[in-house]
Amino acid sequence: MKQRQTARSVSARKGGEKIVMLTAYDYPSARMAEDAGADILLVGDSLAMVVLGHPDTLSVTVEEMVHHCKAVSRGAQRALVVGDLPFLSYEAGPTQALESAGRLVKEGGVRAVKLEGGREVLPQVDALLAAGIPVMGHVGLTPQRLARLGGFRVQGRDAATAQAILDDAVALSRAGCFAVVLECVPAALARVITAVLEAPTIGIGAGPQCDGQVLVFHDVLGIHEGIRPSFVKRYAELGATGREALTAYAAEVRQGRFPGPEQVFSMEEQHLEGLTVDGRPARSYLREPAA
Ligand code: KIV
């Protein structure tokens, strides 16, 4: 078995073997992702959309994140489990960030947290690191600020916004974040940021030159039916396969073909003989099978 991943071991992979991160939201997704070789399991706030059916990530609560972090932590034996701090669970300042992150760590069992934002969240990053909680940064497209960013769109395409993203990423790395997610930025910008930063970069829609990549579990497996960003590669169509299987099950139930002989338990006839209801043999209630 490979060595257990920590924030420190992930950091040390800068420029080396690519870091593989996948989101996971429960025990089976954690087991599957880890068995597939993921180094980091992110209990992302994308939970809101792909598992809980919300239109965006804004409504997921710390309580809900804790619940799912617990399940993922139970499934992870080797991967580093990172919990996402949801919208408005850290923006008020370091005290709020510590309270929220503390719950994900103490109750949810995660070993690091991720928060969205750049220089404006440095006080929160400092407080978390001072408390011994490793922090992953997240810049570029930050879905918790979708309203301000004007929707799901590539960030940093002009000089001013590219400089701002670079400055944010540098600040997070210098503050001590063990890794920084770059979401939806041009590949050329991600390449520069990756070269500049001491911390590894983990890209999603940020090209191949990041130190690692992350995708949403349901996107990789083709389960999620919602938005299909162009940077996502679906490696399977389990949504379609699953629907076919469930449709076959429903048809077999209606046709009386499930359960079949392999799925039933037997008992000795004699034990049925003596069963009664109001003194009447229970077997007499049986209707003869139709001819
Ligand atoms: O919540 C999430 O899934 C994320 C990843 C896309 C990085 O933040």
- Write out pLDDT tens, residues 66-103: 999 999 999 999 999 999 999 999 999 999 999 999 99
Q: Is residue 130 part of a domain?
A: yes
Length of the chain: 291
Residues 203-235 have pLDDT tens digits of 999 999 999 999 999 999 999 887 788 999 999
- What range defines the domain where residue 169 resides? 7-241
Q: Is residue 136 part of a domain?
A: yes
183 classed as catalytic: yes
Q: Is the CB of 216 under 6 A from ligand 1?
A: yes
- Whether the Cβ atoms of residue 104 and residue 66 lie closer than 8 Å to each other: yes
Q: Is residue 22 part of a domain?
A: yes
Q: Is residue 259 part of a domain?
A: no
Dist. CA 22–CA 32, nearest whole Å: 10
Q: Is residue 200 part of a domain?
A: yes
What is the pLDDT at residue 84?
Answer: 98
Q: Is residue 128 part of a domain?
A: yes
Q: How far is the CA of 23 from the centre of ligand 1 (A)?
A: 7
Q: Which of 204, 217, 223, 231 to mutate to test the pocket of ligand 1 (most atoms within 8 A of CB)?
A: 204
Inform me whether the pLDDT recorded for 291 exceeds 70.
Answer: no
pTM for the model stands at 0.94
What is the pLDDT at residue 1?
Answer: 53
The domain total for the chain is 1
Q: How far is the CA of 51 from the centre of ligand 1 (A)?
A: 13
Q: Is residue 248 part of a domain?
A: no
Query: What's the CATH number where 101 sits?
Result: 3.20.20.60
Q: Is residue 40 part of a domain?
A: yes
What is the pLDDT at residue 40?
Answer: 98
Q: Is the CB of 168 under 6 A from ligand 1?
A: no
- Whether the Cβ atoms of residue 71 and residue 82 lie closer than 8 Å to each other: no
